[in-house]
Amino acid sequence: MESAQYQPINIEEHAVLSHRSSSIVRYSTILSMVLDGSPLREILHSLVLSIETQKIGTKASVLLLSNDKKRLLTGAAPSLPEEYNQAIHGVEIGIDVGSCGAAAATKKRVIVEDIANHPNWAAYKDLPLKAGLKACWSEPIIDTHGNVLGTFAMYYDTIKSPAGVDLELIQEAAKLGSLAIERSQGLHLQRLTSRIFNKLPMGLIITNDEHSILSVNPMFKTITRDFTADKQCFDPNVFFEQSDPVVLESMLKNIHRGNTWQGELLAYKRNGQTFDADVTVTTFRDYHGEQNCFSWLITDISEHKNANRLIHFQANNDALTSLANRRCFLDKIYDYVWQIERTHQKGAACSVLLMDIDNFKQINDSLGHENGDVLLKGVSNRLANVAPSNGLLARIAGDEFGLFIPGKISTSDLISIAKDINQVVTDKINIDNQQVHPSISIGISRYPEDSTIVESLVNCASQAMYDVKLTGRNGYQFFNKTMQQNAERTAYLQMEMTKALNDQGFELYFQPIVSTQNTHIAKAEILLRWKLHGEFVSPEEFIPIAEHSGLIVPIGKWVREKAIKLINQFVEQNTPIALSVNVSTCEFLNDELQHQFIDSIKSCSEQSCKTAFPFELLTLEITESLMMDQHQNIENLLIRLREWGIKISVDDFGTGYSSLSYLANFPVDQIKIDKAFIQKIEQGARHKALVEAIASMSNALELTVTAEGVETQTQLDFVKTQKVDDIQGYFFYKPMPQQEFLALVEKQFCS
């Protein structure tokens, strides 16, 4: 139904961004140490640890080429066993001397996936294997003139092949090692810095106290779209003026004190554009030691930040409407309530509104799912226009929305908000050249009056919302204790119904249906009754609970099995009486339930009857709403049942959608005129006309007609004139227990 507005973040791209972020930190750290004049071994030690942190499971090392260019000396290998480091210290280079010796001799990368079986390690494998090392990848460290300075190696305690990211990592480490070693060999700081500037994959600009630009690298010009082309100065107050003032002030204070500062700022591009920047500022004295200078290492992390923003949005927002999703909605309430409880705030409060579009399923089915999405977006926009600015509006589920309002708010203000929502939602929406008039039901709960537990608070709003649904829709309702009692009653009855189903606690009652021709019993409708602790529970109360909980499926199966067995019993006793069984729409919700329905009837009929079962004596009563769904698979199911001989009856006809086109096209055999029409025929001609129309239309469609609720002689006399086939009502019989009904049937056939 929903069409996403945002493309999901690519995991591989995110991994590359993460690797790039780590690379930025590594370059920044090594560069700072180089500019600060740190000892070579400290720099190499830091480099090795950085790589090991980036690639978990790695044991890295740097070996330096000796002055005679023949041997490798330990530079940094903090994670390798000291015994191993001592053993390889001073080893001569050669094309078959392990991984590092070969890399130094050939100036090429050497990847050894399995030390135990590689020819390079044939004479030396005992050393690494004893140390638990089984794989070694080595990259030669080459200076700017193409000379070997040493090697960078990555060891593993398993046989292992490198991935693309691993190769990038080892190559990067070798480059950083090259920079550090070259500096240690006495290259001039300015010459080295110039080369570093040009190699760095991030912007670098050097300024003095007067903000004059002393040097700038090509990457800085690329990032800022040649910001320096028409400027002779770099003023951080201007360049970062769009940043958070608190963060910007912190940065300026630190560098003026001579401290290094690292953080994220919003930086300037040409033509008034900005970008998210990772900034590292290092303070140092100029060549003459007369004034402070600043190196600004700047990286455009907009792509990374945007990716993180997208990930955060997808985790916390609904793709169709862009509103907060259920997770974000609940987290917000949890955080607010937790803060209240933690700080013991007196008088603190909040409110929750749950809203559900009325009859959305019918709208969605009739207009199509794409147009249903259009309606959802239209309603969400209207809700956003009237929601309080401090509130959080969310799409909780398919057509359900939530509004969280923090802080204390009066009842009158909540009523005003609810009325505004009802009013704005009911304005017509034009969808696919059709005018739709949506409405919405709203339930309201308040903290702490209704509950101090978040789950309960939301449930209270939900109960209030469904109370609005039951009492007419398109309105609002505050949660109250009566709803709580009803909810507890519902939970109790659901639990007891489960027990009754397992313990055969339900009873079958029968209401005879007589023929208008001779008032003989033609059939009977089976009615479910439930006695709990000696008192009957009204079907109007427990049937909706059974449907909502799903218990109606096993209950319906049980009733049909009893009906089939009883029909077979009637046939064997030569008292064939047809029986009608009500079928809940919930039993046809999906393909699996429909298959179960068919299978249960088939298996039970086969078990009950040794010969062909008389399916013509079984009638299944469905509701008008099932016809309204118009699902082809449901229609096919009913066609199959009719092919067996089972009759399909539309129960309580006239109280639902009452569309004649459904009757003409849907596979049904009979209709039952709802008792509400029959019991009003004495009130005037218009009510009689309705019954006449239904009966006439049914006869024209060759459907049999049963009049329900006939209780008086006047009603009986009238329906007899309308070509009604059967009559059901208190005038003849009230519902009765099974034994009483069986006796009545036996008496009729014996007379």
Instruction: Tell me the per-residue pLDDT of 171-218, one tens digit each, with 9 for 90 and over.
Output: 988 999 988 888 776 644 555 566 666 777 888 888 888 888 888 888
Mean pLDDT to the nearest integer, 101-127: 95
Sign, Cα dihedral of 418, 419, 423, 426: positive
The answer to whether 192-305 and 511-750 have equal CATH topology is no
- Domain 317-479, CATH class in plain words: alpha beta
Instruction: Flag whether pLDDT at 711 surpasses 70.
Output: yes
DSSP 625: H
66-75 CB contacts, 8 Å cutoff, 24+ apart: 66/90, 69/148, 72/100, 72/101, 72/104, 72/150, 72/151, 75/40, 75/41, 75/44, 75/150
Strand 618-622 and strand 647-653: the pairing is parallel
Question: When comparing pLDDT for 608 and 472, which is higher?
Answer: 472
Cβ neighbours for 376, distance < 8 A, ≥ 6 positions apart: 2, 320, 321, 357, 395, 399
- Domain 37-186, CATH class in plain words: alpha beta
Reply yes or no: is the peptide bond before residue 201 cis, omega within 30 of 0: no
Instruction: Flag whether pLDDT at 386 surpasses 50.
Output: yes
Q: Which of 110-124, 189-203, 283-297 has the lowest mean pLDDT?
A: 189-203
Residue closest to 62 by CA, chosen among 70, 74, 79: 74
Instruction: Flag whether pLDDT at 3 surpasses 50.
Output: no
What integer pLDDT is reported at residue 222 of this predicted model? 85
Mean pLDDT to the nearest integer, 640-646: 91
Structure tokens at 611: 């010969």
Type of residue at 462: S
Q: Which of 14-18, 153-157, 271-275 has the lowest mean pLDDT?
A: 14-18
Whether residue 521 contacts residue 527, with contact meaning beta carbons closer than 8 Å, is answered with no
Global pTM? 0.52
Q: Which of 208-217, 459-468, 641-650 has the lowest mean pLDDT?
A: 208-217
The Cβ of residue 7 has, within 10 Å, a number of other Cβ atoms equal to: 9
Torsion of Cα atoms, 212 then 214 then 220 then 225, to 10°: 50
Distance of CA 320 to the CA centre of its chain: 12
Mean pLDDT to the nearest integer, 287-303: 81
Backbone φ, ψ for residue 138 (5° rounding): -130, 135
Each residue's pLDDT tens digit, 239-260? 999 999 999 999 999 998 889 9
In sequence order, what DSSP letters do the residues of 344-389 get, joined into one string? T-TT--EEEEEEEETTHHHHHHHH-HHHHHHHHHHHHHHHHHHS-T
> What CATH topology corresponds to 511-750?
TIM Barrel (3.20.20)
Mean pLDDT to the nearest integer, 657-679: 78
The Cβ of residue 573 has, within 10 Å, a number of other Cβ atoms equal to: 13
Backbone φ, ψ for residue 326 (5° rounding): -60, -45
Rounded Cα distance, 579 and 523, in Å? 6
Would you call 69 helix, strand, or coil by DSSP?
A: coil
Each residue's pLDDT tens digit, 26-42? 777 888 887 777 888 89
Instruction: Flag whether pLDDT at 421 surpasses 90.
Output: yes
What integer pLDDT is reported at residue 12 of this predicted model? 46
Question: 566 vs 575, 578, 605, CA distance in Å?
Answer: 11, 10, 11
Largest distance between two CA atoms of the chain: 129
Distance of CA 707 to the CA centre of its chain: 49
Mean pLDDT to the nearest integer, 349-376: 86
Structure tokens at 628: 């309204």
Instruction: Flag whether pLDDT at 17 surpasses 60.
Output: no
What integer pLDDT is reported at residue 15 of this predicted model? 47
| Torsional class of 423: left (φ above 0), alpha (ψ -120 to 50), beta (otherwise) | alpha
Sign, Cα dihedral of 119, 120, 124, 130: negative
Each residue's pLDDT tens digit, 136-147? 999 999 988 899
- Domain 192-305, CATH class in plain words: alpha beta
H-type alpha helices, 523-576: 539-549, 552-572
The domains of the chain are located at 37-186, 192-305, 317-479, 511-750
The Cβ of residue 1 has, within 10 Å, a number of other Cβ atoms equal to: 12
If you search the block for the tokens 């900005």, which residue do you land on? 274
Mean pLDDT across the chain: 87
Rounded Cα distance, 7 and 707, in Å? 58
Confidence category of residue 221, pLDDT binned at 50, 70, 90:
confident
